[in-house]
Chains A and B, each alone.
Chain A
Amino acid sequence: MLELRGVTKFYGEREVLGGIDLEVREGEAVALIGASGSGKSTLLRCIDLLEEIDDGDIYLDGAAITDPGSDPVPIRRRLGLVFQAYNLFPHRSVLENVVLGAIRAQRMPRGDALAAGHALLERFGLAGREHDYPDRLSGGQQQRVAIVRALMTKPRALLLDEVTSALDPELVGEVLGIIRELKGDGMTMLIATHEMGFAREFADEVCHLESGRIIERGPPEQIFSDPAHPSTRRFLTRLIDGARA
């Protein structure tokens, strides 16, 4: 459903993505792992057309979405992106955050959007917080609101950019729970993550990014227990040591 062919991106002279090939099939979850600065975030931002790629193509439902000169707005409406730092709108209440896209981008009638927003917030344990401002919420709650906000526009696929990295450890679980639930609903997802346990349990495929290239990919069992590439092995060892320390 989502397909990347030779996606390349430069910041000035520096190559940050070096020919990424990737496919996410309907209902599948693909995890992107790799050190900070390996290009995971940039890749997600490129797919959501927040950044222009310099070479290659990205296809959504078989149609190229990265043709130069094409309007990115209708494409973005079909994809949901959740950011590491939540990026909620601080001047709008939780409910107003959630319905903005539905009302302005999808032209959903206000009443319908509010009802749908209420329902989704309730489903993800945020009932009663509709009229609070984001800064009154815990990090975990804010990230759940951000996920609901992305879901409100009924995206074909959800792009999750290290959505638990900014959270206190005890709050990680509540956000991962939602993602698990969405996976159960059959949501197609591309997830950049540092939560190896989660990726292992949850992903259909794991891709290890290093310096803007996928150096190893495979089913999670193989990547985590028997990585073929020495660099992946080093990365995983470092992570495990870091978790122990």
Chain B
Amino acid sequence: MHTIPTSRAERQLARRRQARRSVALSATSTIVVLGAVAAGIVLSPGWRTVRSTFFSWHYFRAVLSSLPAGLWLDARMFIVVEVVVLALGLTIALVRTLRAPLLFPLRLVSAVFVDVLRGVPLLILLYLIGFGVPALDFSFLPTDETVLGGAALALCYSAYVSEVFRAGIESVHPSQPAAALSLGLTRTQALRHVVLPQAVRRVVPPLLNDFISLTKDVALVSVLGPQEIARIAQINSDLNFNFTPYVAAAAFYLLLTLPLIRVVDHMRGRALTRQNAVVML
């Protein structure tokens, strides 16, 4: 039993002591773990080979100048595909939400579209569209691999994103559209001014997650031939039987994705604080 009450200064001192201890502990454990991993790699029997085939300074410098152009193509594809995905995803979600009987065929098509595209591996979809569409030989269809690859990506991601939007729309409590209808708004107006704005706000974090996946999946389009960064790395690597270009490409990619990931985490944190749902774990 304490007989003397603990003063505020004592409590602060104790708290500071505890904080210092946890910083020291986490620093030590980080150094130990990272050191062990690094030692494990460097001491591995094959380290000499790995170092020359994956971390060769010579090949790194050689490929350096050709990578930015590839990354730039990835970035452009990402932006265009993302815009298409947002528009198409939202359209599909809306079609699946509306109950007008006239829209039944559209609803059916959307449902099948979403199910099939979510069920097919992206790589296979890329091959099917990239090689299948030009084979149709219609003059009005595109034959450019970048466009076709982008189309395959857009279709696949639209299916996922439409489900995210749909979940958002369904998460808005029915009392909200009821209030809008009671004011005399039409169903479309209620959706446009009351349901959608709330739904979209709610799904921003999962949407941003899908964006980050997309930045990386853009590189899969390389299987169709476009000279984006993974393709350039592959060509350079095949040329010299050295994998360093892949490591260089990964490093370059991180330049693009790491800032994006930080921004997304920041936005998600802000969204959480806004909803007063900050949980300390």
Contact = CB atoms under 8 A, between A and B. Distances in A.
Interface of A: 45, 48, 50, 72-74, 76-81, 83, 85, 87-91, 100-101, 104-106, 149-150, 153
B30 interface: no
B193 interface: yes
14 contacts: A73-B184, A73-B185, A73-B186, A80-B182, A87-B175, A91-B197, A91-B198, A100-B180, A100-B193, A101-B183, A104-B185, A104-B189, A105-B185, A150-B182
B246 to A, nearest CB: 46
> Top 8 A-B pairs ranked by shortest CB distance?
A101-B183, A77-B184, A105-B184, A87-B179, A81-B182, A87-B175, A76-B184, A91-B197
A149 B178 contact: no
Interface residues of B, number: 17
A243 to B, nearest CB: 28
Interface string B186-219: 1001000110011001000000000000000000
Contacts of B183: 76-77, 100-101, 104-105, 149-150, 153
A161 to B, nearest CB: 10
Contacts of A85: 175
Nearest to A87: B179
Contacts of A105: 183-185, 189
Interface in B34-86: none
A147 B177 CA distance: 17
A74 B186 CA distance: 9
A91 B201 contact: yes
Contacts of B111: none
Interface string B152-187: 000000000000000000000001101111111110
A48 B181 CA distance: 9
A81 B175 CA distance: 12
Q: Which interface residue of B175, B181, B189, B197 has the most chain A CB atoms within 10 A? A: B181
Contacts of B189: 104-105
B175 A153 contact: no
Given A77-B183, A85-B175, A91-B201, 7 more contacts: A50-B178, A73-B184, A73-B185, A81-B182, A89-B180, A90-B198, A105-B185
Contacts of A90: 198
B198 A76 contact: no
Contact of A106 (B175, B184, B201): B184
Contacts of B175: 83, 85, 87
Contacts of B178: 45, 50, 83, 87
A91 B199 CA distance: 10
A30 to B, nearest CB: 19
A104 B176 CA distance: 16
Nearest to A86: B179
A45 B198 CA distance: 24
Contacts of B181: 50, 72-73, 76
A104 B193 CA distance: 9
A108 to B, nearest CB: 11
Contacts of A150: 182-183
A141 to B, nearest CB: 17
B220 to A, nearest CB: 37
A153 B185 CA distance: 11
